[in-house]
């Protein structure tokens, strides 16, 4: 999708779809409260509300991608241990209460805190989500300072990436064949890729030998 097309699409999402979607959601939420004792109708409305939330997330993600080209970068010292621990706590609540996350001491970096949060939120949430249905879901996060880069490694024992689809991993709206039963819209890693390019960083993705995936982020 060209930049001009993406900007136009984002404008349509935010202005032409945002308001009616909010009205629908507010009315359904009122019905949701009234119908708590009517299980069938209650469950139907809950399903619709869940789908509206998915639509809202998709809209926000697309807007985020469009804004990445023009957003000013504000460099500051980022407390990475604090940032990553906050992301882990949220991801465990949403995706996998049984997931064990091993966090080594993480070096700080001087980057744009908002963009860094988006990168790690997307990568860590994927690691937790796609390992959550395993027998012993596990995620390991570590960081090292190298001469030319600060490198962060996020590894999981989840579903992995089909070898024939690794090159499609960062395409917008692309869902991998083995991930289609999981919640998502195929936008998160496209955001990660654009942010890393904007910050002059790079990403390396490795399929682990036994099971799962490793992401290496170079800043």
Backbone region of residue 144 per phi and psi (left: phi > 0; alpha: psi in -120 to 50; beta: other values): beta
Contacts of 116 (CB under 8 A, 6+ apart): 78, 80, 83, 109
Q: What is the pLDDT of residue 37?
A: 66
Q: What is the pLDDT along the chain (219 residues), one digit of tens a residue?
A: 555 555 555 555 555 566 666 767 777 777 777 766 666 666 777 777 776 776 676 666 666 666 666 678 889 999 999 999 999 988 888 776 788 899 988 999 999 998 898 899 999 988 998 887 778 889 999 999 999 999 999 999 988 887 777 787 888 767 766 666 666 666 788 889 988 998 999 999 988 766 889 999 999
Q: What is the pLDDT of residue 62?
A: 66
Q: What is the pLDDT of residue 204?
A: 93
Q: With beta carbons less than 8 A apart as the criterion, state whether 94 and 57 touch.
A: no
Question: Quick one: which of 209, 207, 197 has its CA closest to 217?
Answer: 197
Question: Quick one: which of 170, 152, 125 has its CA closest to 215?
Answer: 152
Residue pointed to by tokens 């709206």:
173
How do strand 138-145 and strand 100-103 relate by DSSP bridges? parallel
Residues 155 and 119: their CA atoms lie apart, in Å, by 15
Q: With beta carbons less than 8 A apart as the criterion, state whether 167 and 94 touch.
A: no
Q: What is the pLDDT of residue 32?
A: 72
Residues 102 and 128: their CA atoms lie apart, in Å, by 12
């Amino acid at each position: 999708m060209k930049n001009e097309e993406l900007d136009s699409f984002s404008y349509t999402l935010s202005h032409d779809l945002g308001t009616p979607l909010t009205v629908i959601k507010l009315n359904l939420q009122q019905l949701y409260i009234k119908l708590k004792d009517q299980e069938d109708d209650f469950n139907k409305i809950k399903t619709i509300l869940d789908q509206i939330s998915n639509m809202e997330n998709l809209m926000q993600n697309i807007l985020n991608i469009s804004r990445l080209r023009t957003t000013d970068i504000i460099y500051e010292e980022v407390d990475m241990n604090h940032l990553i621990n906050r992301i882990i706590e949220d991801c465990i609540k949403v995706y996998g209460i049984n997931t064990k996350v091993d966090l080594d001491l993480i070096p700080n970096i001087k980057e744009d805190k908002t963009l860094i949060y988006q990168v790690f939120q997307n990568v860590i949430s994927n690691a937790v989500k796609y390992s959550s249905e395993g027998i012993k879901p596990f995620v390991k996060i570590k960081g090292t300072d190298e001469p030319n880069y600060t490198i962060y490694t996020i590894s999981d024992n989840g579903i992995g990436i089909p070898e024939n689809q690794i090159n499609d991993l960062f395409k917008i709206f692309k869902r991998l064949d083995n991930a289609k039963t999981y919640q998502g819209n195929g936008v998160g890693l496209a955001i990660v890729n654009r942010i890393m390019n904007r910050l002059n960083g790079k990403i390396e993705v490795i399929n682990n030998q036994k099971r799962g995936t490793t992401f290496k982020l170079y800043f």
